[in-house]
Amino acid sequence: MPKKYVVAGAAAGVVALIAAGVAVVARATRPDHPPVSPTVPRVEELPTAADIRATADAEAS
């Protein structure tokens, strides 16, 4: 009769392999990948709150 810890280890391994397989299949079947910027924007290039409000006000007019 096999030791209980060997059976428990084997069961944990099988569960881990199944979870990894599900993760791989889920990633492979994603319809589109999220957009990624080729470079990280500089802090100076990020819009300020005033810029965002001005843009929103201009679009509302």
pTM of the full structure: 0.47
Q: Read off the tokens for 47.
A: 């819009």
Sketch the domain layout of the chain as residue ranges: 1-33
CA–CA dist 36, 31 (Å, integer): 16
Cα gap 4→57, rounded to integer Å = 69
**CA end-to-end distance (rounded Å), the chain:** 80
Residues 1-60: pLDDT tens digits?
578 999 999 999 999 999 999 999 988 888 777 777 777 777 777 788 888 888 888 887
Distance separating alpha carbons of residues 10 and 30, to the nearest angstrom: 31
Pair of tokens at residue 24: 């791989």
